[in-house]
Chain A
Amino acid sequence: MFARGLKRKCVDQEEVEEGALAGFSSIPSYSLQRQSLLDMSLVKLQLCHMLVEPNLCRSVLIANTVRQIQEEMTRDGVGRGTAPQSTGRAPLDRLVSTEILCRTVRGPEAGCPVPDLGDGAIQGPLPELYTVDSAEVPRSPQSSLWEMDSPRENRGSFQKSLDQIFETLEHKNPSSMEDLFSDMDSSYYDLDTMLTGMMSSSKPGLCDGLDSFAAAAPSPGSSCKSDLGELDHVVEILVET
């Protein structure tokens, strides 16, 4: 559905900034700062793996920092779920910076094994929608230590925002194309409005994120091919309305 017709144009930079200023203060929010610190740390850890002889002390310190940030994000994530007023912004904070997650959205085949953290509570209804690539590391003695538990955590918060999106579609599992379009009610337009609203007040990078996510969302079903003809028909109907 998102592949044609309802394509959103990439909003002008000015509009983005206007929207940004209207929606946010000019100083990056604490959660944005925290997220960028997390991203920076993950990059540092990945670089560690690429070095010939990673410095173990440095790796341990960075990994501990990552863990701390994630723990705090988990605590905050739980808190945010119950706060109604910022539902528009809360998921946005995470979507804006989780470009990494958005880029690697794909089917249920496993990437590098991610260790179970014991936080099974975060498992959402879409565990196989995306498997984030752990750092594809050349196996060095210390590197086995740093299986990326972070994507799991981020996935948890990403899950929540996804959940909110999909609830508007009144569906729990959009992996089948048919299901996605079976209820053609106003909820689609709500989704679109919501996404457009998010688009105009975010960084341009979000376009890519959501596009790739959208493209991947309906893919896994093997029954897709037979329904393609029907799909085209459905999309045309949507576009015309």
Chain B
Amino acid sequence: MAVRLAGWNDIQWCFSQVKGAVDDDVAEADIISTVEFNHSGELLATGDKGGRVVIFQQEQENKIQSHSRGEYNVYSTFQSHEPEFDYLKSLEIEEKINKIRWLPQKNAAQFLLSTNDKTIKLWKISERDKRPEGYNLKEEDGRYRDPTTVTTLRVPVFRPMDLMVEASPRRIFANAHTYHINSISINSDYETYLSADDLRINLWHLEITDRSFNIVDIKPANMEELTEVITAAEFHPNSCNTFVYSSSKGTIRLCDMRASALCDRHSKLFEEPEDPSNRSFFSEIISSISDVKFSHSGRYMMTRDYLSVKIWDLNMENRPVETYQVHEYLRSKLCSLYENDCIFDKFECCWNGSDSVVMTGSYNNFFRMFDRNTKRDITLEASRENNKPRTVLKPRKVCASGKRKKDEISVDSLDFNKKILHTAWHPKENIIAVATTNNLYIFQDKVN
């Protein structure tokens, strides 16, 4: 039974699909580590801890069944990264895919960048639905014909075949990062991109793999003085000279590449003064920014820290224009969350296509959406219980303390192993992809 919140007249979120294994025993390699729609929304890519990329493609809308949009089906699967061994340091390099970013489509093929801790790769995904047949000198199976039997000349022709999707690595950008890559971002010039690790940001040209420019370096001369690291970075969606990077101390720096080659001096510093009433030993940890995303318009940016989502106006540095509490009920549990390391979980966040709603994940397979216009928020759950197509999702509520109402969940019964770190919103429609540990859920709004 659908429960409608006042103010949410437009959207009722319904289950659409779920991808991934059913059993509770999660294979480590299947843990989803990144989710990203392409620019048209037709393709949805996921990366996992085992170094694989799976791309889903949306079916063309079925005219007969007009009550739902096309389903997403597997389009291509490939092994993007393999585990490596760094012999100098005697350390293994994980094959886990940290980020995937799509390039805008220029021709028939699709291109994406995928990265693990150390190496970025440009993949070309192309379709093949024809093949040449009728070679003059070869049999159909490839063997060469006996030359004496060749008496006529014939030219091969293309004939249709079953669709085959091929992924091939076109560029490998390696050996530029000493520390772990946490972000990649493609510039609006579509020729360059940045990659950021804990202490440095590099600028690459998509065509050039043996060279990159270092544009930010916050490594101190003496590593013992290190107190702050880079946590995320992104190019501005419209200004090709502007990018931002966030830090573990809750600051965001906006840099202009026209100012100097090395952008160690920021153009703008975004930082909210600390609330003295909320000060604790964990204040710094929970202020660490886990994700930063520009709005599609480029006017705003959103940051995610442990307990909240903040929207910043690029023209105002001293505080965010909006702050949304994701799970404030966890504030009194910070010590336990520190003990079990959950306090270090890095949640991502995303905008909808019109920048009116933002979404982020939480624990217990809950995810939250905040409508910037109506100031309403909603908590939904990604669970196989509601897995009949077009089942409307029931809003969830966490009871912070005191009397627990019916259908509410108490903080103590939340499952902190079920965390939603990665979410993505279709660039044009109300379709969202939500990743639990090893499953990908796709939800759509109800189309009447």
Which residue numbers of A lie inside 8 Å of B, CB to CB? 34, 37, 40, 44, 52-53, 55-58, 60-61, 63-65, 68-69, 115, 140-142, 144-145, 147
Minimum C-beta distance from B177 to chain A (A): 12
Q: A57-B248, A140-B89 are in contact. Are A147 and B224 (CB under 8 A)?
A: yes
Cα-based distance from A32 to B224 in the complex (angstroms): 28
Report B329-356 CB contacts with A as 1/0, cut-off 8 Å. 0000001001101001000000000000
A-B contact pairs, 26 of them (CB 8 A): A37-B281, A37-B335, A37-B338, A53-B91, A53-B92, A53-B93, A53-B94, A55-B180, A55-B344, A56-B180, A57-B288, A57-B344, A60-B228, A61-B248, A61-B284, A61-B285, A64-B284, A65-B281, A65-B282, A115-B224, A140-B89, A142-B223, A144-B223, A144-B224, A145-B223, A145-B226
When distances are taken between beta carbons in the complex, the residues of chain B under 8 Å from A63 are 227
For chain B, the count of residues having a C-beta within 8 Å of the partner chain is 29
Contacts of B342-398 to chain A: CB distance below 8 A: 344
B346 — nearest CB in chain A belongs to which residue? A57
A145 B91 Cβ-Cβ under 8 A = no
A65 B284 Cβ-Cβ under 8 A = yes
When distances are taken between beta carbons in the complex, the residues of chain A under 8 Å from B227 are 60, 63-64
Report B295-338 CB contacts with A as 1/0, cut-off 8 Å. 00000000000000000000000000000000000000001001
B95 at interface by CB-CB < 8 Å: no
When distances are taken between beta carbons in the complex, the residues of chain B under 8 Å from A40 are 338-339
Q: A37-B335, A65-B282, A69-B281 are in contact. Are A60 and B224 (CB under 8 A)?
A: no
Minimum C-beta distance from B345 to chain A (A): 11
B79 at interface by CB-CB < 8 Å: no
Cα-based distance from A40 to B231 in the complex (angstroms): 24
When distances are taken between beta carbons in the complex, the residues of chain B under 8 Å from A44 are 341
B199 — nearest CB in chain A belongs to which residue? A56
B92 A52 Cβ-Cβ under 8 A = yes
A61 — nearest CB in chain B belongs to which residue? B285
A56 B224 Cβ-Cβ under 8 A = no
Minimum C-beta distance from B193 to chain A (A): 22
B179 A56 Cβ-Cβ under 8 A = yes
When distances are taken between beta carbons in the complex, the residues of chain B under 8 Å from A141 are 89, 178
B343 — nearest CB in chain A belongs to which residue? A61
B223 A57 Cβ-Cβ under 8 A = no
Cα-based distance from A68 to B341 in the complex (angstroms): 19
The A contact surface, by secondary structure, is helix
The B contact surface, by secondary structure, is loop
Minimum C-beta distance from A220 to chain B (A): 31
Cα-based distance from A127 to B322 in the complex (angstroms): 53
A143 — nearest CB in chain B belongs to which residue? B223
A44 — nearest CB in chain B belongs to which residue? B341
B36 at interface by CB-CB < 8 Å: no
Which residue from B92, B180, B224, B288 sits with its C-beta under 8 Å from A61? B288
Given A55-B344, A61-B284, A64-B284; 12 other pairs, CB 8 A cutoff: A34-B281, A40-B338, A52-B91, A53-B92, A53-B93, A53-B94, A53-B180, A56-B179, A56-B198, A57-B288, A141-B89, A145-B223
Instruction: Give 8 nearest A-B pairs by CB, closest first.
Output: A56-B198, A145-B223, A61-B285, A57-B229, A58-B344, A53-B91, A60-B229, A57-B248
Cα-based distance from A57 to B181 in the complex (angstroms): 12
B344 A61 Cβ-Cβ under 8 A = yes
Cα-based distance from A57 to B344 in the complex (angstroms): 9
A147 — nearest CB in chain B belongs to which residue? B224
Minimum C-beta distance from A239 to chain B (A): 46
A37 — nearest CB in chain B belongs to which residue? B281
A65 B285 Cβ-Cβ under 8 A = yes
Cα-based distance from A65 to B228 in the complex (angstroms): 12
Cα-based distance from A63 to B179 in the complex (angstroms): 18
When distances are taken between beta carbons in the complex, the residues of chain B under 8 Å from A69 are 281
When distances are taken between beta carbons in the complex, the residues of chain B under 8 Å from A115 are 224
Cα-based distance from A115 to B89 in the complex (angstroms): 24
Cα-based distance from A142 to B94 in the complex (angstroms): 17
Cα-based distance from A165 to B318 in the complex (angstroms): 52
B89 A60 Cβ-Cβ under 8 A = no
When distances are taken between beta carbons in the complex, the residues of chain A under 8 Å from B91 are 52-53, 140
A145 B231 Cβ-Cβ under 8 A = no
Cα-based distance from A141 to B281 in the complex (angstroms): 27
Q: A37-B335, A40-B338, A115-B224 are in contact. Are A56 and B229 (CB under 8 A)?
A: yes
Cα-based distance from A142 to B285 in the complex (angstroms): 19
A63 — nearest CB in chain B belongs to which residue? B227
Report B37-50 CB contacts with A as 1/0, cut-off 8 Å. 00000000000000
When distances are taken between beta carbons in the complex, the residues of chain A under 8 Å from B338 are 37, 40
Cα-based distance from A56 to B180 in the complex (angstroms): 8
Minimum C-beta distance from B88 to chain A (A): 10
